[in-house]
Structure 1
Amino acid sequence: MSSTIIETSEAALNATSLLRFATAGSVDDGKSTLVGRLLHDSKSVLSDQLEAVESASRNRGQEAPDLALLTDGLRAEREQGITIDVAYRYFATPRRRFILADTPGHVQYTRNMVTGASTAELAVVLVDARHGVVEQTRRHAAVAALLRVPQVVLAVNKMDLAGYEESVFAAIAEEFTGYAKSLGVPRITAIPISALMGDNVVTSSPAMEWYGGPTVLEHLETVRVSHDPTDDPARFPVQCVIRPQTAEHPDYRGYAGQIASGVFRTGDRVSVLPSGRTSTVTGIDLLGRRVDEAWAPQSVTLLLSDDLDISRGDLIAPVEAQVRPSQDLTATVCHVADRPLKPGDRVLLKHSTRTVKAIVKDIPSRLTLDDLSQHPAPEELLANDIGRVVLRTAEALPVDPYADSRRTGSFLLLDPSDGTTLTAGMAGDAFAEAAKETKGAEPAAPDEDGWDF
Structure 2
Amino acid sequence: MSDVITQDPVYQTDALIAQDIDAYLDVHQHKTMLRFITCGSVDDGKSTLIGRLLYDSKMIFEDQLEALQADSKRVGTQGGEIDFALLVDGLAAEREQGITIDVAYRFFATEKRKFIVADTPGHEQYTRNMVTGASTADLAVILIDARKGILTQTRRHSYLAHLIGIRNIVLAVNKMDLVGYDQAVFDKIVADYAAFAQSIGISAFTPIPISGFKGDNITARSDKTPWYQGPTLMAHLESVEVDATTAAAKPFRMPVQWVNRPNLDFRGFAGLIASGSVKPGDAVRVLPSGKTSTISRIVTLDGDLDEAIAGQSVTLCFADEIDCSRGDVIAVADNPPEVSSQFEATIVWMDDEAMLPGRPYWLKIGTQTVSATVQAPKYVVNVNTMEHLAAKTLDLNAIGVAELATDKPISFEPYADNRTLGGFILIDKISNRTVAAGMLHFSLRRAQNVHWQATDIGREAHAALKNQVPRILWFTGLSGSGKSTIANEVEKRLALMNRHTFLL
Fold match (TM-score > 0.5): yes
Q: Pick from 136, 139, 162 the counterpart of residue 122 of structure 1.
A: 139
Can you list the C-alpha shifts for 1:13-62, whole angstroms capped at 9, x where unaligned?
99421111100011111111111111112211111122112111212473
CA-CA distance at 1:195 after TM superposition? 1.0
Can you list the C-alpha shifts for 1:122-147, whole angstroms capped at 9, x where unaligned?
01010011111111100010011111
- Mark the runs of 5 or more structure 2 residues left unpaired by the alignment: 1-25, 443-504
1:51 corresponds to: 66
User: Separation in 2 of the partners of 1:359 and 1:125?
Assistant: 34
User: Separation in 1 of the partners of 2:412 and 2:213?
Assistant: 45
Q: Pick from 416, 420, 425 the counterpart of residue 407 of structure 1.
A: 420
Task: Find out whether 1:393 has 2:411 as its counterpart.
Answer: no
1:98 corresponds to: 115
**Is residue 323–residue 398 contact of structure 1 (8 Å, CA) maintained in 2?**
yes
The 5 A counterparts of 1:176-191 are 176-191=193-208
2:253 corresponds to: 235
**Is residue 148–residue 185 contact of structure 1 (8 Å, CA) maintained in 2?**
no
Q: Using structure 2 for the length normalisation, give the TM-score.
A: 0.79
**Is residue 284–residue 300 contact of structure 1 (8 Å, CA) maintained in 2?**
yes
User: Separation in 2 of the partners of 1:386 and 1:126?
Assistant: 22
CA-CA distance at 1:361 after TM superposition? 2.4
The 5 A counterparts of 1:370-381 are 370-376=384-390, 378-381=391-394
The 5 A counterparts of 1:110-189 are 110-189=127-206
In structure 2, the CA distance between the partners of 1:289 and 1:356, relative to structure 1 (3 Å rule), is same
2:229 corresponds to: 212
Instruction: Indicate the percent of aligned positions where both proteins have the same amino acid.
Output: 49
1:138 aligned counterpart, secondary structure = helix
Decide which structure has the larger Cα Rg and report it. Answer: 2
Task: Find out whether 1:261 has 2:284 as its counterpart.
Answer: no
2:333 corresponds to: 319
One-letter code aligned to 1:316 = I
Q: Using structure 1 for the length normalisation, give the TM-score.
A: 0.88
User: Separation in 2 of the partners of 1:104 and 1:19?
Assistant: 20
Provide the alpha-carbon RMSD of the alignment.
1.8
2:346 corresponds to: 332
Q: Identify the range of structure 1 (74-83 vs 56-65) with the bigger mean alpha-carbon deviation.
A: 56-65
**Is residue 37–residue 119 contact of structure 2 (8 Å, CA) maintained in 1?**
yes
Q: Pick from 301, 318, 326 the counterpart of residue 287 of structure 1.
A: 301
User: Separation in 1 of the partners of 2:61 and 2:153?
Assistant: 33
Aligned residues: 414
User: Separation in 2 of the partners of 1:315 and 1:72?
Assistant: 40
User: Separation in 2 of the partners of 1:423 and 1:129?
Assistant: 33
One-letter code aligned to 2:133 = G
**Is residue 151–residue 186 contact of structure 1 (8 Å, CA) maintained in 2?**
no
**Is residue 362–residue 391 contact of structure 1 (8 Å, CA) maintained in 2?**
no
User: Separation in 2 of the partners of 1:319 and 1:374?
Assistant: 40
1:296 corresponds to: 310
**Is residue 278–residue 307 contact of structure 2 (8 Å, CA) maintained in 1?**
yes
CA-CA distance at 1:97 after TM superposition? 0.9
2:239 corresponds to: 222
**Is residue 143–residue 172 contact of structure 2 (8 Å, CA) maintained in 1?**
yes
1:422 corresponds to: 435
Task: Find out whether 1:244 has 2:262 as its counterpart.
Answer: yes
2:495 corresponds to: none
- Mark the runs of 5 or more structure 1 residues left unpaired by the alignment: 1-10, 430-453
**Is residue 279–residue 305 contact of structure 1 (8 Å, CA) maintained in 2?**
yes
One-letter code aligned to 1:95 = K
User: Separation in 2 of the partners of 1:51 and 1:238?
Assistant: 47
CA-CA distance at 1:337 after TM superposition? 1.1
User: Separation in 2 of the partners of 1:281 and 1:146?
Assistant: 36
Structure 1 residue ranges, 4+ long, deviating more than 6 angstroms after superposition: 11-14
User: Separation in 2 of the partners of 1:265 and 1:12?
Assistant: 27
User: Separation in 2 of the partners of 1:277 and 1:184?
Assistant: 40
In structure 2, the CA distance between the partners of 1:271 and 1:186, relative to structure 1 (3 Å rule), is farther
User: Separation in 1 of the partners of 2:201 and 2:300?
Assistant: 37
Can you list the C-alpha shifts for 1:153-193, whole angstroms capped at 9, x where unaligned?
00001111222111211121122123223323354111001
CA-CA distance at 1:362 after TM superposition? 3.0
In structure 2, the CA distance between the partners of 1:256 and 1:169, relative to structure 1 (3 Å rule), is same
One-letter code aligned to 2:399 = I
Q: Pick from 6, 13, 18 the counterpart of residue 33 of structure 2.
A: 18
The 5 A counterparts of 1:428-439 are 428=441
Can you list the C-alpha shifts for 1:186-221, whole angstroms capped at 9, x where unaligned?
541110011111111111110100001111111111
User: Separation in 1 of the partners of 2:54 and 2:218?
Assistant: 10
2:403 aligned counterpart, secondary structure = strand
Can you list the C-alpha shifts for 1:210-254, whole angstroms capped at 9, x where unaligned?
001111111111111242143223211111112222xxxx43221
